[in-house]
Amino acid sequence: MNINTQQQLLIDPIIHEHPLRFHEEATEKLKFCSACRLELRGASYICTKCPDRYTQNYDRYVQYHLDPERKFYLHEKCAKLPYEIQHPSHSSHPLNLYTKYPYKGFKICDECGDIPRGFIYLCEECNFMLDVKCAAQTAQENGVSSMQHKGIESSRHHFGHEHDLLIGHCSDPINQVGCNICELPISGQAHFCPGSSCHYIVHESCLRLPEKMQVPFHAGHMMVMRSKDSQKYPNYFFRMSPPRCYACHGFFSSIVGYECEECPLYFLHSTCANSLRRPLMKLESHEHNLYYLGTDCQLLSANYNFPFNCSKCRKNCRGQPFYRCMECNDINFHLECVPLLHIVKSRHHIHPLTLKDSFIEDDSGEYYCDICEEERFAKDHVYYCEECKGLFLAHIECALAKVEYVVSYLDGQEREESRIESEPSSSDNEYDSSVNSESSYDDDEQSVQDKEEEDSSAQES
């Protein structure tokens, strides 16, 4: 192969500050074009000097996810994009190429509604913008939908922000923008402020967070959502001595979070407060209730590497969801060290439920527990009904609040389901109490009649 063609340089100071090298062969590694943000296979132009611009000064939590070797890549055709185009979606003026939206704040592509993280074409006069993938399409391909995305109003207003918000989509596979409430990367629907002096974008689910909430491990006191620049805490306070989240021990650099109304400096990240709303009750493994600390909460404390060692197996719990005691100083359990039930018959559902590490029903971004009907995080563990093919899903804590019998434990202990099913119904109560003493999940002391009533109503539903 000729070295000259392999190292052919494309000097292009407008698109990129360094010379780009032509790269002929395809690589196995998944790459995305920095201009159109679509997958890149085969020949490309590559900058060997710098990683993608987002890597350098982007939010540290997002960096946690990033491949440090990520480079600036362009499709061959994207390296040769014209600097000015005429587009049928905006025939009155020419559109100019920019490597990113040149003004402050967020703007969606007027065609597809995405918030672009790659190159764009912009009419400065009308503030009409297309991302590169939409600019490449013809009028017929995109003409019909174009009216639908001209600033869909989200009709949402957040008490933490003074302006009305619009809906956009974050579809970039890697360069995700961080939410102003929870700090975590946004993928999917987002609500953003179109104001040019604001840099405000939030998850749909974060908009629904209440202004005040109670968490069971800080009973009796109300947690209130505070913003970094609320009058009580001027900016310098956070810069001088950032407080820590009581749950995950991560620094509290967030703009928004919960603080106890009565205890000064008792802070919780909004994500931590929200996911710790349900206790796992009365376990044999520990005298206090335990709380599920998901991977999102751990991301928030990634900057401060607090060791969460398992109280049973002594290994680190980080990197996977685990249960933590909020009363003791450092009591944590892997899910299989609790041990959680792998398959369980809950009184809340007619079929046995199986523990899954996550379940995403659709792309709505909104998921609920079929027992308490409160929100469920797509990334968190869930009890799933195999028989109903996922039409019944429940929080771990909700399903385990009323255990009828145990089929198997996560640590490998098995029970024979057939033996349990053959138990005569008259001995239900007796059987319950024997399960009770072993698993301690069932604190329910219903009479046999009550239980039979509930069973028959469960059958009907």
Question: Which residues contact Zn ion by CB under 5 A?
Answer: 33, 35-36, 75, 78, 109, 111-112, 131, 134, 163, 179, 181-182, 193, 195, 198, 203, 206, 245, 247-248, 250, 269, 272, 288, 300, 310, 312-313, 325, 327-328, 331, 334, 337, 369, 371-372, 395, 398
* Residue 186: CB minimum distance to Zn ion, A: 7
* Residue 175: CB minimum distance to Zn ion, A: 14
Nearer CB in complex with Zn ion: 188/428: 188
* Residue 417: CB minimum distance to Zn ion, A: 24
Nearer CB in complex with Zn ion: 400/435: 400
Nearer CB in complex with Zn ion: 51/188: 188
* Residue 254: CB minimum distance to Zn ion, A: 9
Nearer CB in complex with Zn ion: 399/406: 399
Nearer CB in complex with Zn ion: 255/310: 310
* Residue 8: CB minimum distance to Zn ion, A: 18
Nearer CB in complex with Zn ion: 115/406: 115
The 3-state secondary structure of the chain reads CCHHHHCCEECCCCCCCCCEEEECCCCCCCEECCCCCCEECCCEEEECCCCCHHHHHCCHHHHCCCCCCCCEEEEHHHHCCCCEEEECCEEEEEEEEECCCCCCCCCCCCCCCECCCCCEEEECCCCEEEEHHHHCCCHHHHCHHHHHHCCCEEEECCCCCCCCEEEEEECCCCCCCECCCCCCECCEEEEECCCCCCCCEEEHHHHCCCCEECCHHHCCCCEEEEECCCCCCCHHHHHHCCCEECCCCCECCCCEEEEECCCCCCEEEHHHHHHCCCCECCCCCCCCCEEEECHHHHHHCCCCCCCCEECCCCCECCCCCEEEECCCCCCEEECCCCCCEEEEEECCCCCCEEEECCCCCCCCCCCECCCCCCECCCCCCEEECCCCCCCCEECHHHHHCCEEEEEEECCCCECCHHHHHCCCHHHHHHHHHHHHHHHCCCCCCCCHHHHHHHHHHHHHC
Nearer CB in complex with Zn ion: 303/433: 303
* Residue 69: CB minimum distance to Zn ion, A: 19
* Residue 416: CB minimum distance to Zn ion, A: 26
Distance of CA 81 to the CA centre of its chain: 34
Nearer CB in complex with Zn ion: 340/435: 340
Nearer CB in complex with Zn ion: 39/430: 39
* Residue 37: CB minimum distance to Zn ion, A: 7
* Residue 242: CB minimum distance to Zn ion, A: 12
Cα distance between residue 360 and residue 439, in whole Å: 29
